[in-house]
């Protein structure tokens, strides 16, 4: 799923028309499809998976001699960005989502 940002806002349609005019086609059919979607279930599952990974990374690992040691996952990019990703998921869940297709 892609969420492109167009600056300034509302410029997508104008840019699309401009690109079409420059190509000078004999015919162009553009159909816009909007559909309200609810991704809350999938987002909650994703958030649960991220938090499960974080808990796993924070548990101590036991080496062959029975000594506890820090997991290598604590140094990973995934672990460092779990909180940020969970906040983004919460923001998405609190907003309305509309699927836009061309």
pLDDT tens sequence across 6-54: 677 777 778 888 888 999 899 988 887 877 778 889 999 999 999 999 9
Q: What is the DSSP letter of 39?
A: -
Question: How high is the pLDDT of residue 1?
Answer: 47
Looking at per-residue pLDDT, the higher value among 66 and 96 belongs to 66
Question: How high is the pLDDT of residue 16?
Answer: 83
- Strand pairing partners for 69? 61
Distances (CA, A) of 62 to 17, 23, 33, 71: 61, 64, 54, 9
Phi, psi (rounded to 5 degrees) for 69: -145, 165
Question: How many other CB atoms sit within 10 Å of the CB of residue 57?
Answer: 18
What is the mean predicted confidence (pLDDT) over 53-59? 93
pLDDT at 83 over 50: yes
pLDDT at 2 over 60: no
- Residue 77: pLDDT band (50, 70, 90) is very high
Q: Provide the percentage of residues in the chain whose pLDDT is more than 70.
A: 89
60: helix, strand or coil: coil
Looking at per-residue pLDDT, the higher value among 96 and 51 belongs to 51
């Amino acid at each position: 799923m892609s969420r492109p940002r167009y600056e300034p806002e509302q410029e997508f349609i104008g840019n699309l028309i401009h690109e079409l005019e420059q190509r000078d086609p004999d015919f162009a059919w553009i159909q816009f499809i909007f559909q309200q979607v609810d991704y809350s279930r999938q987002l909650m599952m994703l958030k649960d998976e991220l938090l499960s990974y974080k808990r796993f990374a924070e548990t101590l690992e036991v080496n062959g001699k029975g000594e506890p040691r820090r997991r290598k996952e604590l140094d990973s990019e995934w672990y460092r960005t779990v909180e940020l990703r969970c906040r983004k998921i919460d923001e998405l869940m609190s907003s309305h989502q509309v699927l836009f297709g061309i």
